[in-house]
Each structure stands twice: as structure tokens, then as C-alpha cells.
Amino acid sequence: MPRFSPEAIRAIALVGHGGAGKTTLTEALLAKAGAIASPGSVEKGTTVCDFDPLEKQYQHSLNASVVHLHHRNTRVHIVDTPGLPDFIGRAIGALPAVETAAIVVNAQNGIEMITSRMMQWVAKRNLCRIIVVNKIDAENVDLPGLLARIQAAFGRECLPINLPADGGKRVVDCFFNPSGASDFSSVEEAHSALVDQVVEVDEELMAKYLEQGEVAPGELHAPFEKALREGHLVPVFFVSARNGAGVAELLEVFVELMPNPTEGNPPQLLKGEGAKAEPIRPEPDPKKHVLAHVFKVVIDPFVGKIGVFRVHQGTITKDTQLFIGDGRKPFKVGHAYLLQGKDSVETDALVPGDVGAVAKVDEIHFDAVLHDSHDEDHIRLVPLEFPTPMHSLAIEPKRRGDEQKISETLHKLAAEDPTFRIEHHAVVNETVISGLGGPSPPAPKATTATRSRRAARDSSARCSSKSSP
Ligand SMILES: Nc1nc2c(ncn2[C@@H]2O[C@H](COP(=O)(O)OP(=O)(O)OP(=O)(O)O)[C@@H](O)[C@H]2O)c(=O)[nH]1
Ligand SMILES: [Mg+2]
């Protein structure tokens, strides 16, 4: 497998409300880049990302799923996240893995609850943002109205970087090659608005632009990245994951315009304890000591515990010895993997920007910092803010003696979901589980409680609903 320099890597999370089309779009991007032969469908349960039987049953993503593709000598890692509120902890948990969040908006439904909340969560984590309006092929969509609502809700910095044409069958580029007719608005005006916005972050370029009336596209790259980093520009991209309009162009934008690890905002890491903790800035340099962050854990019945991480500094190979957080006992990587949904592909090296995985490491846990030197301990991520679990269930074993089985299953769930909590109330000798999902979810949508109940049932447990804490 070819090695990529950090400059040739992009890491992008698709986030947004349930049903916006993130998994379908991931599928379309994988197919367009040739990573899969043809796009699967959520309805048929044939997508790379929704591989869990429950995801197929409910036709919703329940986990953050990682895939990668290659386009123009660039490796693009995509994290497809769940949009259902019950599983949103798994989407928030994945944000530290990427430079860019693509907030996918359903053109039919417009701005939804998770759209707005994601825009805030992502801005708080200092990620670069792009809004992707999907389903432009659908009937009765008001795209000019939606663009106006996006700008009213999230600011004038949300500017179209392409526009739909031929009734949503294709798109016209407004940045690289702005010419042609669009379904609404003007391509030339959209181009000028983008350039105006970008040059505002660079005084010298602004002066040149005012004097000459134009700047060469090459000169716009660095200020474009700066504008993204500072949240001064949020490009709005129109696409249809279903009919393919804009998919090739979106790949192009990911590779040409979205930040590589040297261009994005650095991850929010702290070194030291308590009040003495200070922000540190890892260098995305493959030659330095390793720093990586675990953003997802999977307990696989066959493979064991899988830690999915993002490399921020250094190079991880099969021979690397890694420490977990402040632990003193290192583990040897053995096999370094890239992920493609449920499949793992062994690779010889993971460098800054890469999203990779290790298997069979029992001590690995969500939010762990992995490093290869004692100088690099006492480093952790600025804590992620998760919604408070609002639903609790008291559970008890149906049969005496099953306590151990139930406890193991619950701890597996807690390892995988950062918002799932287990408490033992000693006075009444009661185990209470809490999560974001309500105890009686409307069919067919799955919730944390559904999974909890299912897991608990599998472990011969009986649940009784509790009032919210
Ligand atoms: N018409 C149309 N339908 C689409 C498009 N993209 C996705 N869909 C459909 O929208 C539904 C939801 O798509 P998903 O890809 O599962 O959406 P998601 O954002 O991954 O949803 P969650 O996993 O619940 O967060 C499915 O029925 C898709 O077939 C599109 O571009 N046009
Ligand atoms: Mg999905």
C-alpha cells in the first residue's frame, strides 16, 4: 500500500440529522473514487457503513463508521456518523478525528434539530465546516429558500461553492471554473462572493484584489484555508447522493480545498494535570514521537476489542510500542489497520492525518491518548461535551447468578457509547442504566434503550423504567 504524506491526507466527518443521506453519500463517494464497484443502498442493507444487523433493520446508522478512498494521489478518510439523537454521542465522539466536518442537510426537510446543534458542536471543537445540501434531485425542494434559511440561521459566511443546474441533475462549479447557467442565483455572483470573503482574511491580497479586480486561483488557496479555520467561510455545496449530481465535484473539493493536517486547526490537547494543564500543539510530522487519540471502541465477539484512533503526530507501524495514556505498560501494535466499514485492511504505516485501528488490546478505551514515549504522558483531549443522558432504566437479573453476565454486557455497551452510564445504587442494591434514548422508542427507530434492553434481555435481565435523573 502506498505511503501518503500528511499533506496528501484528508479526514472528514459527515454529520447531521438522521436521514439526511450521510451513509448514502459515503457510498456514492466510495463508488465514484473506485473504492467499491457500485453504490449499495440503505434500504437494501448493502452499504459499507451500515453493516450492523440493527442498522440494516432500522435503516439508520447507529455507530460512527470509518472508510477511506483514494483520489488524485490523496487519501481521504470519511467518518459517517449517526444522526439519530439517541446515538449522537457516537457522532460527537468522532469529531476529534477530523479537520473538517461536512454538515449534511436534507434538502426536503431543511434545517433540523441536529443540523443546528452540530453546527455549534463542530464550531466549539474548532473544526473547519462545509454544509452539504443533499437530495437536490427530490420533488418539491425549495433550494433558493433553503440557502436563504441557512444564511439566516448560520451567517452570511455560508456561501455556495456550486449551484444546482438542469433541475438538480447536475451542478455548476462556482469556485474553480465559474461559468454556465444554474437553476437559481448567478454563478458569477456566487464566485465573486466567495473571492470577496476569502480575501478578507489576507490584507495584502485584499489590496491587490481591490487594485486589479481579480486574483489568480493559486493565490487563493492559503487564504481559503485560513478563512475555513477561522470560520470566516462555510462553503455550501449542493449534491444528490442518489442521482450522483455533484458527487465527483465534492470529491474534488475534499481533495483541493479541505484542509490537510498541516492546514487545519490543531487538535485540542492538554498536557499536565488540573490547573497546571497547558494546551499543546502536536506537529503533524511523521518523524516525531507518536501521538494518537482513540475516538471509537468496538467490542467484536470474534476479534475482541478494537481501538479506532486518529494519528496526530509520528508514525505507527506494526512494530511500534504504544502506551495508553499514563499507563506504564506498552503494547506492541502487531497489525496496523485502515478501516472500510466492518473490514480492516492491514497497512505498513499510519501517519499524521490517518485514521487507523488496532485489535486485541484489552486496556484500550474511548478517549485514550496513545503515545510511544514517557515524555508524552499526561496528555489528554480537552473534554468533549456530551448531552446528559435523560432516560434511565433499573435492571435486575431474571435468574439469580446472572449478575456477572449482565455486568459484562453492560460494560461492553458503556465502552462503545460515551453517553451510556451504569450506576449501582448500593442502598437499594439496584443497577440503573442511563442513555440518551427514551425507554419506549417509536418503531422502527432504534434507541440506546432498545439496544440496552436487547442486550439486557440477551443476558437474561429484567428492566423497569425509571424517571429521568
Ligand atoms: N431522493 C434522494 N434520496 C436520498 C438521497 N440520499 C439519500 N437518500 C435517501 O434518504 C434516506 C436516508 O439516507 P441515509 O443515507 O440512511 O441517511 P443518513 O444521514 O445516513 O441517516 P442516519 O444514519 O439516520 O443519520 C434513504 O432512504 C436514502 O435512500 C438523495 O440524494 N436523494
Ligand atoms: Mg447513516
Give the Cα-Cα-Cα angle 206, 210, 212 (nearest 5 degrees).
115
User: How close is the Cα of 438 to the center of ligand 1, in Å?
Assistant: 24
pLDDT at 1: 60
Q: Do 376 and 401 sit in the same domain of this protein?
A: no
Q: Do 228 and 316 sit in the same domain of this protein?
A: no
For residue 49, being part of any structural domain is answered with yes
Report d(CA 167, CA 165) in Å as an integer.
5
Q: Give the residue with greater pLDDT, 293 vs 303.
A: 293
Q: What is the pTM of this model?
A: 0.93
pLDDT at 390: 87
- Alpha-carbon separation of residue 101 from 133, 293, 336 (angstroms): 13, 17, 25
Report d(CA 437, CA 392) in Å as an integer.
9
Question: Which of 381, 411, 433 is at the close of a domain?
Answer: 381
Highest mean pLDDT among 3-7, 347-351, 415-419: 347-351
Report d(CA 82, CA 24) in Å as an integer.
12
Q: Do 230 and 344 sit in the same domain of this protein?
A: no
Q: Give the residue with greater pLDDT, 461 vs 69.
A: 69
pLDDT at 2: 62
pLDDT at 17: 98
Buried b or exposed e, range 2-19, using 16+ CB within 10 angstroms? eebbbebbbbbbbbbbbb
Please provide residue 433's backbone torsions phi and psi, each rounded to the nearest 5 degrees: -105, 145
DSSP 385: P
Residue 449 has pLDDT above 60, yes or no: no
Cell for 112?
433540523
Q: Name which of 82-86, 323-327, 438-442 the model is least confident about.
A: 438-442
User: How close is the Cα of 134 to the center of ligand 1, in Å?
Assistant: 9
User: How close is the Cα of 24 to the center of ligand 1, in Å?
Assistant: 6
Question: Which of 232, 256, 280 is at the close of a domain?
Answer: 256
Cβ contact 165:181 at 8 Å: yes
Segment 62-87 shows an average pLDDT of 97
Q: Terminal CA-to-CA distance of the chain, rounded, Å? A: 50
Residues with CB under 6 A from ligand 1: 18-24, 42-43, 60-61, 82-84, 134-135, 137-138, 240-242
Q: Which ligand is nearest to the CA of 238?
A: 1
pLDDT at 439: 57
For residue 262, being part of any structural domain is answered with no
Question: Which of 381, 414, 440 is at the close of a domain?
Answer: 381
Report d(CA 40, CA 53) in Å as an integer.
15
Residue 303 has pLDDT above 70, yes or no: yes
Segment 147-163 shows an average pLDDT of 98
Report d(CA 206, CA 210) in Å as an integer.
6
Segment 387-407 shows an average pLDDT of 88
For residue 261, being part of any structural domain is answered with no
User: How close is the Cα of 21 to the center of ligand 2, in Å?
Assistant: 7
Mutation choice for ligand 1 from 24, 135, 243, CB with most ligand atoms inside 8 A: 24
Segment 364-393 shows an average pLDDT of 91
Q: Do 301 and 333 sit in the same domain of this protein?
A: yes
User: How close is the Cα of 199 to the center of ligand 2, in Å?
Assistant: 36
User: How close is the Cα of 268 to the center of ligand 2, in Å?
Assistant: 27
Please provide residue 405's backbone torsions phi and psi, each rounded to the nearest 5 degrees: -60, -45
Q: Do 398 and 347 sit in the same domain of this protein?
A: no
Q: Do 128 and 246 sit in the same domain of this protein?
A: yes
Closest residue by CA, ligand 1 atom 14: 21
Alpha helices for 306-446 (secondary structure H): 403-416
CA-nearest of 43, 41, 44 to 24 is: 41
Q: Do 373 and 400 sit in the same domain of this protein?
A: no
User: How close is the Cα of 394 to the center of ligand 1, in Å?
Assistant: 35
Q: Name which of 198-202, 400-404, 407-411, 449-453 the model is least confident about.
A: 449-453
User: Is 15 strand, coil or helix?
Assistant: strand
CA-nearest of 354, 368, 279, 262 to 310 is: 354
Q: Do 349 and 399 sit in the same domain of this protein?
A: no
Instruction: Specify the CATH number for the domain of residue 352.
Output: 2.40.30.10
Q: Name which of 156-160, 332-336, 389-393, 456-460 the model is least confident about.
A: 456-460
Number of the ligand 1 atom closest to the C-alpha atom of 138? 1
Instruction: Specify the CATH number for the domain of residue 215.
Output: 3.40.50.300
Q: Give the residue with greater pLDDT, 436 vs 441.
A: 436
pLDDT at 438: 65
Residue 452 has pLDDT above 80, yes or no: no
Domain count, the chain: 3
Number of the ligand 1 atom closest to the C-alpha atom of 14? 19
User: How close is the Cα of 44 to the center of ligand 1, in Å?
Assistant: 12
pLDDT at 292: 98
Instruction: Specify the CATH number for the domain of residue 433.
Output: 3.30.70.870
Q: Which ligand is nearest to the CA of 22?
A: 1
For residue 264, being part of any structural domain is answered with no
- Kindly write down the DSSP assignment for every residue of 217-270, as one continuous string: HHHHHHHHHHHHHTTS-EEEEE--TTT-TTHHHHHHHHHHTS--TTTSPPP-EE
Mutation choice for ligand 1 from 15, 17, 23, CB with most ligand atoms inside 8 A: 23
Q: Do 377 and 396 sit in the same domain of this protein?
A: no
Give the Cα-Cα-Cα angle 160, 260, 372 (nearest 5 degrees).
150
Full residue range of the structural domain in which residue 434 is found: 391-466
User: Is 311 strand, coil or helix?
Assistant: strand
CA-nearest of 13, 49, 16, 103 to 295 is: 13
Q: Do 291 and 334 sit in the same domain of this protein?
A: yes
Segment 190-205 shows an average pLDDT of 97
Give strand pairing partners of 14. 80, 102
Report d(CA 184, CA 143) in Å as an integer.
8
pLDDT at 178: 93
Please provide residue 399's backbone torsions phi and psi, each rounded to the nearest 5 degrees: -115, 140
Sheet holding 158-160, edge to edge: 65-71, 74-80, 9-15, 100-106, 128-134, 234-238, 158-160
Closest residue by CA, ligand 1 atom 30: 135
Residue 243 has pLDDT above 60, yes or no: yes
Closest residue by CA, ligand 1 atom 21: 19
* % of the chain surpassing 70 pLDDT: 93
Number of the ligand 1 atom closest to the C-alpha atom of 243? 31
Q: Do 196 and 283 sit in the same domain of this protein?
A: no
Residue 457 has pLDDT above 60, yes or no: no
Segment 1-16 shows an average pLDDT of 92
User: Is 408 strand, coil or helix?
Assistant: helix
Residue 463 has pLDDT above 50, yes or no: no
Residue 90 has pLDDT above 60, yes or no: yes
| Mean per-residue pLDDT of the chain | 92
Number of the ligand 1 atom closest to the C-alpha atom of 239? 31
Residue 285 has pLDDT above 90, yes or no: yes
Segment 186-213 shows an average pLDDT of 96
Residue 59 has pLDDT above 80, yes or no: yes
- In which element (H, E) is residue 191 found? helix 187-199
